[in-house]
Structure 1
Amino acid sequence: MTQISSSPSLLRLAGLPYFLIAFVARLPFAMMVVGVLTIVVSVRESLTLGGLTSAVVGLGTAVVGPFLGAAADRYGQRLVLVATAVLNSAMLAAFALVVYSPAGDAPVLLAAFAIGATAPQVSPMSRSRLVTIIDERMPESRRARTTSSTMSYESAADESVFVFGPFLVGALASFIAPWAPMALASVLTLLFVGAFALHPTGRHVSIARAADGSAPSAASELFRPVLLVVVAGIFGVGLFFGATLTALTSFMADRGLPEQAGLLYGVMGIGSAILALGVAWLPPRFTLHARWLFFGAILLAGSVLVATASEVWMMTLALAILGIGVGPTLVTLYSLGAARSPLGRSATVMTMLGSGVVVGQAAAAAITGALAEGVGTSASLLMPLAASAVVVVCGILNRVLSRTRH
């Protein structure tokens, strides 16, 4: 008992500078999709091209992200992160030059894909790094609670940057120029992702890996139904994020206040971040399976209110309820992903989950924007409800698969 109580905390094992660097290093990723949309719409004056370009960024991340995670598992995070930091910083700057040039749409889309493909996977890498430290350097009796607390913090950090990132993009584009958010993202990527890569924890490679870097588990373990259902669930959360922000923008534009959409979205984001931190204090008997279904149901209920809201105060209330559901759901899905990661492949799994959020967000933004423009706001407001239904259905499938496996 004395040994357990005197064992160092995760904060002490990783160090406070690690958490500060990792927080800022994930900010450029949160700025990318919105920054790309802003500069394309402002310079090329095409909302359709802007939405398509944002979706292509997500596609690049979805296609290449898991391979970056696999490379990090095999060769260590430092090499992968340094390479992507340099490449992504260059691509962000190049994208701005292409948009301002007389080049056609194809080079713009190609540059956008390159941004997504080279995007440093800071959030998944941080989760993998911390989970590895927990599993290898902490007493077994403390691992479950510490993992839950870590996933809570990581999700709250993601929520915070995804609220602050779009706000920062809007402020820079409004007060300086449309290229300013891309320039800042390029500098932050080079400096802080580089610092994240060079942090002492970046040298660590899982002890589950053999001397040649091979994993003890086969790659086919990544395609087990119990893991794929978690990826599908987190894809639904990504759909929810993209659909909600786009539908909310259309809702406020109908009232002549499109610039206030970000403020209302912050109601959900701030509440979600706070509730995500609180998940660590839930009792162990409230299992991850039950949490997925419970908080997914709250997400579904809030989405019904979004679909039926006719006044700003009703929408604000609906968003506050959504914040109660989405943060804990995200923490739960990442915790399940960590628990089901095959030995030596945690970075791969975390990048699969991170890519699921990004591609879901980009796809939903494009679809919801097209609905809002072609059919109307009322149709776009149904998209968060559809996304929430995906999350709940996956939660039910998870419960069935878990019982079958048990």
Structure 2
Amino acid sequence: MTHATPTPQHHAPTPETPGLLRIAGLPYFIIAFIARLPFAMMVVGVLTVVVSARGSLSLGGLTSAAVGLGTACFGPLLGAAADRFGQRTVLLILAIANGAMLVIFTLVVYTGGADALVLIAAFGIGATAPQVAPMSRSRLVTMIADRMPEALRTRTVSGTMAYESAADETVFVFGPFIVGILASALAPWAPLIGAAVLTVVFVGAFALHPSARAVSVHRDEDGRAPSKVSELFSPHLLIVVVGILGVGMFFGTMLTALTSFMADRGAPEQAGLLYGVMGVGSAILALGVAWLPVRFSLRARWLLFSGILLGGSLLLLLVDSPAMMMVALAIMGIGIGPTLVTQYSFGAARSPLGRSATVMTMLGSGIVVGQSLGAAVAGELAENVGTGSALVLPIIAAGVAFTAALVNWPLSATRPRVASV
């Protein structure tokens, strides 16, 4: 059922067994990390440019949403194209197209183009955004399946998903920070031009890395035809998409509600600092998942950590001060990182043969869709009803992730291939 099922040649680790760092090479991880930065800079960079050049926060918000919508609509299609034609070809095209769209968007904004053109250009940025993170996950899982003994695969995949999730969270912390530095030191348009340069150079390097060819060889020489598209819609995989959609909704609703919470106290600019309490803890705990014992199954991890997330979110009903909000965010951070790692691990384990990039982009798009939807609804509630109503939404989002974990429990038991995970 999955792509990671080659006949094992070893049943126990040996001193000669290479680690994933040795298999992929340190340059791979450096290139893949930097290649993620442009996307983390795009949404905030677009908002900064529009607000600066057009003086409209409303248009800036719509433009940022358009970027996310473009990614959500085309992300899975780009993953499917990578599975069909190979990552190298798709990524090289996207590196050039996305770099061009970033420049075009900047020109449209500063030359007085109509608002509709601004939104179309923003959608184009999202639609052509290179799916570096999902494709990196796909590459690494393929390397693990091809080059590592079966006895090490479960732990290595878990550790890999932990690293990848922590890397994503790190770039989404540093991305806006870089935007702020470039916009302040140079000009509001500088972050987008910088993102364009990084996209062409580092996404191009990621495309040309030998690991891209390895994925293509695995696809071409596996000896079996790729799985049917219908297998992407199996209940075992769709429940993971629903769960990760809940995580995305949590991200969007929590940050928006937190901003409203701090605005009520006259310090909206401090929302990012408080949010960082959850982000840092989440990244640390995400990396810690790699050290959990194999007997602590994936389905148990999802249930436990999403339960912690839900429990922490219930404290939002009681918060009345920034200090108490910080405590709630710290508890939620314990749950959110490991939950996300576990969901990606399930996605890797349940990817149909030849569809790993598609599955990873489906999961990545689930986060983007949930985040965009959650932020939009939370913003409307906070502005028209009040912060208290907006703070209920992260609880609902956490409830979606937890409910998906409950549904996943019996589904895992019915799948011999994943019952132990």
Q: 1:117-156 CA distances to partner (integer Å, 9 max, x unpaired)?
A: 1000000000000000000111111111111110110011
C-alpha distance 171-252 of structure 1, shift in aligned 2 (>3 A): farther
Tell me the CA shift for residue 207 of structure 1: 5.3
CA contact (8 A) 2:43 2:67 kept: yes
Partner of 1:115: 125
Partner amino acid, structure 1, of 2:365: S
Question: 2: CA distance between counterparts of 1:162 and 1:29?
Answer: 9
2:13·2:152 contact (CA, 8 Å) conserved in 1?
no
Q: Secondary structure at the match of 2:130?
A: coil
Listed as ranges, the gaps of 5+ residues in structure 2 are: 1-10, 417-421
CA distance in 2, matches of 1:213, 1:248: 52
Match of 2:165 in 1: 155
Aligned length: 406
Please give the per-residue CA displacement for 1:204-227, whole angstroms capped at 9, x wherever unaligned.
235553469984311111110110
Greater CA drift, 161-170 or 211-220: 211-220
| 2:33 partner letter | F
Secondary structure of the residue aligned to 1:344 is coil
| Contact 2:302/2:405 (<8 A) preserved | yes
Q: How many Å separate the matches in 2 of 1:77 and 1:109?
A: 28
Deviation string, structure 1 residues 25-49 (Cα, Å, up to 9, x no partner):
1011112222222322333333332
Instruction: Say if 1:307 and 1:385, in contact at 8 Å, map to a contact too.
Output: no
Amino acid of the structure 2 residue aligned with 1:335: S
Equivalent residue for 1:185, pick from 161, 179, 195: 195
1:282: which partner in 2? 292
- Deviation larger for 88-97 or 362-371: 362-371
Structure 1 position 235 matched with structure 2 position 283: no
Residue in 2 aligned with 1:262?
A: 272
**Does the CA contact (< 8 Å) of 2:94 and 2:129 recur in 1?**
yes
Amino acid at match of 1:77: Q
Aligned to 1:302: 312
Q: Structure 2: how far apart are the matches of 1:262 and 1:395?
A: 29
Aligned residue runs from structure 1 range 203-218, under 5 A: 203-205=213-215, 209-210=219-220, 215-218=225-228
- The share of aligned pairs that are identical, in percent, is 68
Offset, 1:3 = 6.8
Q: CA deviation at 1:170?
A: 2.9
Give, in angstroms, the shift of residue 341 of structure 1.
0.2
2:263 to 225, 250, 253: 253
d(CA) in 2 for partners of 1:2, 1:144: 13
Mean Cα deviation higher: 172-181 or 50-59: 172-181
> What pairs up with 1:6-405 in 2 under 5 angstroms?
6-205=16-215, 209-210=219-220, 215-405=225-415
SS at match of 2:188: coil
Amino acid at match of 1:304: L
Distance 1:16 1:210 in 2: 26
Answer with 95-104 or 223-232: which moved more.
Answer: 95-104
Instruction: Give the SS at the match of 1:292.
Output: helix
Inter-partner Cα distance in structure 2 for 1:335 and 1:66: 18
Q: Is the 8 A contact 1:244 1:381 kept in 2?
A: yes
Q: CA deviation at 1:404?
A: 4.4
Change (3 A) 1:14 1:57: same
Question: In terms of mean alpha carbon deviation, does 117-126 or 207-216 score higher?
Answer: 207-216
Quote the offset at 1:169 in angstroms: 2.2
| Separation of aligned partners in 2, 1:372 and 1:187 | 37
State the Cα distance separating 1:285 from its structure 2 match: 2.0
Instruction: Give CA deviations for 1:356-381 in whole Å, capped at 9, x if unaligned.
Output: 11121122122212222222222222
2:4 aligned partner: none
Q: Deviation digits for residues 16-71 of structure 1, max 9, x if unmatched? A: 01101111110111122222223223333333322222222111111111111111
Deviation at 1:246, TM superposition (A): 1.4
Q: CA offset at residue 348 of structure 1? A: 0.8
1:6 is paired with a residue of what secondary structure? coil
Q: Is the 8 A contact 1:74 1:215 kept in 2?
A: no
Q: CA RMSD in A?
A: 1.9
- Helix, strand or coil: the match of 1:310? coil
The answer to whether the Cα contact below 8 Å between 2:12 and 2:149 also exists between their aligned partners in 1 is no
What is the letter of the counterpart of residue 47 of structure 1? L
**CA offset at residue 302 of structure 1?**
1.6
Aligned partner of residue 72 in structure 2, secondary structure:
helix
Moved more, 367-376 or 347-356: 367-376
Q: How many angstroms apart in 2 are the aligned matches of 1:215 and 1:265? A: 45
Q: Which amino acid aligns with 1:154?
A: E
Q: Unaligned regions of 5+ residues in structure 1, if any?
A: none
Distance 1:65 1:197 in 2: 17
TM-score normalised to structure 1 length: 0.95
Contact (CA 8 Å) 2:94, 2:128: kept in 1 or not?
A: yes
Question: Closer, same or farther in 2 for the Cα pair 1:405/1:15, shift >3 Å?
Answer: closer
1:205 aligned counterpart, secondary structure: helix
| 2: CA distance, partners of 1:2 / 1:119 | 41
SS of alignment partner, residue 26 of structure 1: helix
Structure 1 Cα separation of the partners of residues 180 and 267 of structure 2: 15
User: In the superposition, relative to structure 1, how do residues 2 and 310 fare at CA in structure 2: closer, same or farther (>3 Å)?
Assistant: closer
| Aligned partner of residue 183 in structure 1, secondary structure | helix
**Residues 139, 371 of structure 1: alpha-carbon distance in 2 compared, 3 angstrom cutoff:** same
Spell out, residue by residue over 1:181-229, the C-alpha distance to the aligned partner (whole angstroms, 9 max, x if none): 2122111111111111111112123555346998431111111011011
Cα shift at 1:386: 1.5
